[in-house]
């Protein structure tokens, strides 16, 4: 049997699962919810079950499930945070590329359908290796708290 050490998952396993929105909950928790920056209309949080190191999400502050219902100001705020997030990720983690996208609807892979969000996943040359192919296992090589500390420092320096 193969073992991978992922101690941060224990909090998820032991925490009672609620029907509350993970994005709204993260905003209430602030740093404990891995919120990197909060603006009036949008915010950035880390994905606590990342596809890769530095996987973050940008979402509107307002709980909304349909991109068509976003105001122009909300869309602009989200777009600005995506742009700033890319700059910070490039500066702090030095990825070679990014996957950026939204999953709209359950069939499209949305894990949270009622609060839209944009995923930003940093990618590095060589970050795909034999583990996902042979053992269907993805390795995330940095602890969430360490990645959070590094990215939070970058977000604390951004100007509007």
Q: Which residues are registered as beta bridge partners of 58?
A: 44, 118
Closest CA to 118 of 74, 160, 153, 152: 74
Contacts of 127 (CB under 8 A, 6+ apart): 52
Distance CA 19, CA 115 (A): 13
As annotated, the active-site residues are 117
How many angstroms separate the CA atoms of 111 and 149, rounded? 26
Q: Output DSSP code: residue 67.
A: G
């Amino acid at each position: 049997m193969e073992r991978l050490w992922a101690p941060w998952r224990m909090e998820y396993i032991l925490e009672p699962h609620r029907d509350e929105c993970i994005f709204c909950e993260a905003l209430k928790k602030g740093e404990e919810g891995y919120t990197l920056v909060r603006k009036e209309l949008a915010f950035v949080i880390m994905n606590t079950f990342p596809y890769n190191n530095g996987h973050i999400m940008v979402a509107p502050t307002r709980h909304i499930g349909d991109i068509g219902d976003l105001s122009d100001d909300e869309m602009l705020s989200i777009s600005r945070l995506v742009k700033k997030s890319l700059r910070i990720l490039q500066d702090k983690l030095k990825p070679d590329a990014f996957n950026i996208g939204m999953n709209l609807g359950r069939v499209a892979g949305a894990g949270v359908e009622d609060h839209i969000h944009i995923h930003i996943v940093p990618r590095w040359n060589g970050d795909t290796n034999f583990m996902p192919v042979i053992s269907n296992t993805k390795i995330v090589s940095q602890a969430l708290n360490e990645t959070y500390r590094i990215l939070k420092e970058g977000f604390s320096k951004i100007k509007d």
